[in-house]
Amino acid sequence: MPSSNPAAAPARGRHDRFWILGAICLAGLVLPLSFTAPPVAIPAIAAELGGSPVALNWMTNAFMLAFGSCLMAAGTLADTYGRKRVFATGIVAFAAVSLLLALAPSLAALNALRVLQGVAAALALAGGNAALSQEFHGPARIRAFSLLGTAFGLGLAFGPSLAGWLVQAQGWRSVFLSSLAIAVLATVFGLPRMRESRDPDAGGLDWRGSLSSTAMLALLTIGVLEAPERGWGDPWVLGALIGSALLLVWFVRIENRAQRPMLDLSLLRYPRFVGAQLLPIGTGLCYLALIVLLPVRLIGIHGLGTLDAGLMMIALSAPMLVVPMLAAVLNHRVGASTLCAAGLLLAAAGLAWLGWAAGRGEVAGLVAPMLLIGTGSAIPWGLMDGLAISVVPKERAGMAAGVFGASRVSGEGIALAIVAAALAGLLQWRLGQGGAAAGEALNQAAQRLATGDAVRAQALLPQFAPAALRAAYDSAFAWLMYALAGATAVVAWVVYALLGPVAEPAAQMAASAEALCEDGVR
């Protein structure tokens, strides 16, 4: 049986490793692209295929549901049956499904295929991350994972812009064809050079743990996705969240009794492992939330065109091109805990600055704080993938990749849902202070205004002039930014404490992390 030990495998040339890294980074680019790009094509899809708003929204939700709920099981599959095999299965299936999506004859077929695409994406991400950890070691691993984090961030940040251009130039089906092209490149250039590796002590898949974790994450994802539209008190939302909590308890019991669990719960005793899982929550609060909120503000409230809004968003996204690699270079001399905490604190300062500028109704004044937020967020973004893999022995790299992927998707999804609900709640409070009577009209107007639909919000509250609605939005948005700044600063402090306040450069991190976890995973 192939081993995870690099010494037991044939020597891998630097040229081959370069192609493997490039292929996995292409996969890391196309997977978030598949989440952020298709929603831009929804109007064009609706014009051709029809469908209700709920059915159209599930084109995005179906992908996220399948992707997020399958990540942990995919990581265990990679350790058990081989990282290359799981990555190959995922990326080839992703390419095939992308082609079928481009040929989809109906919205129902499109949504069903998006579920399959999400499953394929989970296999490709977990298998690719685990395979990458076998090819690079020490400081080289930090640099490799910083590149992967950069690719992932670029897919999230620039997906909407690419999709908008493709829809306008070639139609909505070209969005899925672009995913097909990138997946084919990753397959052709990466797979022939990738070696197989797996956990030599794996005794088979923990089916009970896999099924319970997948069901738990599926219900959690459903609850988070439906909460902004239905409300947190809706019976379906509450049922999904309560069901997820009960399945979590069952999952913990299963894993505690399993001889070879898919998630070694003893790792939760190690602060560094927990700290690595918290990093996506911090970046979700200070970066991903703005990717969703700012275009709505710029287009719906300030009246900017799509192109102008996209150009402004470059201030938030551009640091992802260079800062993650700079963070990897700095990590040779400065500990990851210090870098991650400093980055999150920079982002928190930028959020406070953004809130001040937004409260004054500025547009051009938003650019500088956006640049500061993007720079601060990009520092931990370039390190957290490598940290998540490095805090466990390499034999369990697939498990670490799956757990981190699941915590990333779940944490970011929860952060986005809470931010959306908080903005609507703050708007409802501000409009109520302005004289709007409590009731369904106020609730609906707040929801419409939170999504940038000022015209319908005013139709629901005709007593408010457009300037008054905008002032209410500016005030609510400012307070939301202050709250996010505080929450990001708290995450920065907790991450710094858990990852270790004593600086540990990348040269020592891999060895010390494996030694730290060795006793807990034997």
Model confidence pLDDT, tens digit, residues 183-199:
898 888 877 877 887 76
Element at 148 (helix H, strand E): helix 139-170
- Report in angstroms the alpha-carbon separations of 215 from 68, 231, 512: 11, 22, 35
| Neighbour tally for 137: CB within 10 Å | 14
Per DSSP, the residues of 276-296 read HHHHHHHHIIIIIHHHHHHHH
- Report in angstroms the alpha-carbon separations of 100 from 1, 63, 95, 114, 379: 36, 15, 9, 10, 37
CA pair distance 307, 305, nearest whole angstrom: 5
Among 129, 141, 197, residue whose Cα is nearest residue 509: 141
For the stretch 289-310, what's the b/e string if a residue is b when 16 or more beta carbons lie within 10 angstroms of its beta carbon?
A: bbbebbbbbbbbbbebeeeebb
Residue 272 CA from chain centroid, whole number:
20
- Cβ neighbours for 313, distance < 8 A, ≥ 6 positions apart: 157, 161, 291, 294, 295, 298, 370
CA pair distance 472, 466, nearest whole angstrom: 10
CA pair distance 404, 212, nearest whole angstrom: 17
Q: Which residue has the tokens 């539209």?
A: 229
Query: 133 by DSSP, 3-state: which?
Result: helix
Among 189, 205, 186, residue whose Cα is nearest residue 82: 205
**Size (the chain), residues:** 522
Among 94, 16, 100, 107, residue whose Cα is nearest residue 59: 107
pTM over 0.95: no
Query: 407 by DSSP, 3-state: which?
Result: helix
- Report in angstroms the alpha-carbon separations of 411 from 30, 406, 497: 21, 8, 19
Torsion of CA 453, 454, 460, 465, to 10 degrees: 180
- Cβ neighbours for 420, distance < 8 A, ≥ 6 positions apart: 228, 292, 450
The encoded tokens of residue 100 equal 């079928």
List the chain pLDDT tens, one digit each, 522 residues: 344 444 344 445 556 777 888 888 888 888 777 877 777 777 788 888 887 666 776 777 788 778 877 877 888 788 778 888 899 999 999 999 999 999 999 888 998 999 899 899 889 888 888 787 777 776 777 778 778 877 877 787 777 777 778 887 888 888 899 889 988 988 888 778 778 877 666 656 667 777 887 788 778 877 876 776 677 778 888 898 899 899 888 888 887 777 767 677 777 777 888 888 888 888 888 888 888 788 878 877 888 776 677 778 888 888 888 888 888 888 878 888 899 999 999 999 999 999 999 888 888 889 999 999 999 998 998 788 777 777 666 666 666 666 777 777 777 777 777 787 788 888 888 887 776 666 777 777 777 777 777 777 778 878 778 888 888 888 999 999 999 999 999 999 999 998 876 444 444 444 444 444 444 444
Strands (E), 42-134: none
- Report in angstroms the alpha-carbon separations of 514 from 389, 392, 518: 10, 6, 6
Give me the pLDDT at residue 240, please. Answer: 86
Query: In one letter, which amino acid is 176?
Result: F
Among 424, 430, 420, 422, residue whose Cα is nearest residue 469: 430
From the number of C-beta atoms within 10 Å of its C-beta (0-12, 13-18, 19+), residue 90 rates as buried
Contact in structure between 349 and 189 (CB atoms under 8 Å): no
Q: Which residue has the tokens 């040269």?
A: 507
Contact in structure between 20 and 147 (CB atoms under 8 Å): no
Per DSSP, the residues of 303-343 read ---HHHHHHHHHHHHGGGGTHHHHHHHHTTTS-HHHHHHHH
The 10s digit of each residue's pLDDT in 458-482 is 788 787 788 888 888 889 999 999 9
* Cα radius of gyration rounded to whole Å, the chain: 23
Query: 78 by DSSP, 3-state: which?
Result: helix
- Report in angstroms the alpha-carbon separations of 431 from 136, 278, 281, 345, 456: 55, 35, 30, 32, 15
Query: 511 by DSSP, 3-state: which?
Result: helix
Contact in structure between 70 and 214 (CB atoms under 8 Å): yes
Among 199, 195, 175, residue whose Cα is nearest residue 117: 175
